[in-house]
Amino acid sequence: MTPCWISRVATMAGLILLAFSACGRTEQAEIAPANESPPPAATAAEPVALDEYPYSSHECLCLVAHALPEPPLVYPGASAAITHAAFLFEEENFDDALASFNLILAYGDGHAEDHFNRGVAHMRLTNLDEAIADFNRAIQLDPNLAAAHLNLGIAHYRSRDGETALRHIADAIGIEPAYALAYWNRGHMLGMQTDYEAGLVAFDMAVQLAPDDPFNLMGRAVLFANMDRLGDARADLQTALALTDDPAVIVPIEIALRNMADPAAAD
């Protein structure tokens, strides 16, 4: 089971459905509060019929308000307790995962990755102040931990501090120039600020660094749609479709392509 992957699918489903429900509108809809938890992701075990996709327009807005953080890190030499806590997180047992990370920090050596992992659990539980404190502590212990800079940026983004968020995303890229997920988040954040041209530059880098990742193409397609470049959006979605056999990824792409062909078919 890979709930973090499914969560990413859900986020992209919201992005795709929101962007294409208006078939390339350029104005932004009202965004749900950034600290609101997204609705649970649809399971990917069975294909979902196009006319039965489980997200309402409001839920899609909640999904769009969330960027894509890194999950907990199981670093070389990590103890069984750390592996178990990361497993609890992957199983979406976030309260128990947080309790486990608290114990690890109370009785362990206080690695930067341990503060990072507790920060991830806090962020998933929308304890944003605590998440920011843990990510900052992780960076103090290991200034080159790019994932901590990325997640710190996302925590500030969810706290509605876009300027600080983008600065930390830039720090992550400065440490790891080939960090495709950091470019994805930069593109996403800039797109949500309607800075589509700058967002497109970021998504272009994400696609260049990870051309076989359908999510990079899907994210860029959203910006193309908001820029009324529907031909480019459709091309990216069709390429993304060819890169996956996961029904949870295929369904939102097919809905988007259908809505591009027939604006009246919006969800």
pLDDT digits (tens, 9 = 90+) for 203-228: 999 999 999 998 889 889 888 988 98
Give the pLDDT of residue 8.
Answer: 52
Tell me the Cα Rg of the chain. 18
DSSP state of 24: S
> How many Cβ atoms sit within 10 Å of the Cβ of residue 74?
15
pLDDT at 54 over 80: no
Helix axis angle, 230-242 to 214-226, nearest 10°:
170
Domain span at residue 109? Answer: 3-265
Determine the Cα–Cα distance for residues 50 and 13; give it in Å rounded to an integer.
Answer: 12
Asked which of 6-20, 22-36, 62-76 is least confident by mean pLDDT, the reply is 22-36
Cα–Cα distance for residue pair 150/194, rounded to 1 Å? 21
CA separation for the pair 71, 85 (Å, rounded): 12
Task: Report the CATH number at residue 80.
Answer: 1.25.40.10
Average pLDDT along the chain: 77
Amino acid residing at 122: H
- The number of distinct structural domains making up the chain is 1
Amino acid identity at 58: H
What percent of the chain has pLDDT above 70?
A: 72
For residue range 141-169, what is the model confidence (pLDDT) as tens digits? 999 999 999 999 999 999 999 999 999 99
How many other C-beta atoms are found inside a 10 Å radius of the C-beta of residue 120? 30
Residue 250 pLDDT:
82
Say what the pLDDT of residue 57 is: 32
Residue 18 has pLDDT above 50, yes or no: no
Closest C-alpha to 73, from 104, 118, 107, 123? 118
Q: Is the pLDDT of residue 66 over 80?
A: no
Q: What is the pLDDT of residue 246?
A: 84
Q: What is the mean pLDDT of residues 52-69?
A: 42
For Cα atoms 151, 186, 115, give the angle at the middle one, nearest 5 degrees: 5
Q: What's the token pair of residue 58?
A: 């409001």
Distance of alpha carbon 235 from alpha carbon 224, whole angstroms:
10
Residue labelled with tokens 């495709």: 180
Asked if 44 and 9 touch (Cβ cutoff 8 Å), the reply is yes
- Contact of 173 with 179, CB cutoff 8 Å: yes
Decide if pLDDT at 56 tops 90: no
